[in-house]
Chains A and B, each alone.
Chain A
């Protein structure tokens, strides 16, 4: 069974304090790992897709990396507006299904 585990469950940072979120996965035949951002009361918003170990993607203060067993979302010098829940998901095998992790709630205080 495909599984995605995210850690930590919640993270509090001071503005400017860089950190990383972790997404560990177990999947038979990875066909993409995806990061989403979700603001309170809204639907998730797509951030990144990673397909192979060693791949990196960047967007503003966020950088996503991928290994054969996990992905990291690095947040550099975060701002309060980066506060959100960050979700990780994998697509596996020959189907179109996504398996999501429970998410990491990030709070950045000024």
Chain B
């Protein structure tokens, strides 16, 4: 199993540009989520999905869109990049069955810089 994969590993954008961060998992996990990690602030939840066709907002959803057309893929779209979106982005997946959602498997991360 490849686990959770993310592409790209690094990205530099100019203010106003849009892009999609890719995330895929091969563990047949129902639950997938996107976090951003900033120094001193820990991981903050952006969006999450409990299954194909179902998504919901997390703590910091503004400026980001998601969709979940398959169990395996959960892309994160930045609509119009802003310097405040400079961060490290992590995708995670887990089972949804009761008691196991917190045991999340994380991808290697995408380091995004917006100039």
Contacts and interface: CB of A to CB of B under 8 A. Distances in A.
B43 interface: yes
Interface string A34-58: 1000000111111001010000000
Interface stretch (B66-74, B76-84, B100-108): B100-108
Interface of A: 4, 32, 34, 41-46, 49, 51, 87, 89, 91, 96-103
Interface residues of B, number: 27
Interface of B: 4, 31, 33, 35, 40-45, 48, 50, 58-59, 90, 92, 96, 99, 101-109
A106 to B, nearest CB: 15
A51 B103 CA distance: 12
A87 B42 contact: yes
Given A32-B99, A96-B50, A98-B104, A44 B90 contact: yes
A97 B58 contact: yes
22 contacts: A4-B42, A34-B103, A41-B109, A42-B108, A43-B4, A43-B90, A43-B92, A43-B106, A44-B90, A45-B106, A46-B103, A46-B104, A49-B99, A87-B42, A89-B43, A96-B48, A97-B45, A100-B43, A101-B42, A102-B40, A102-B41, A102-B42
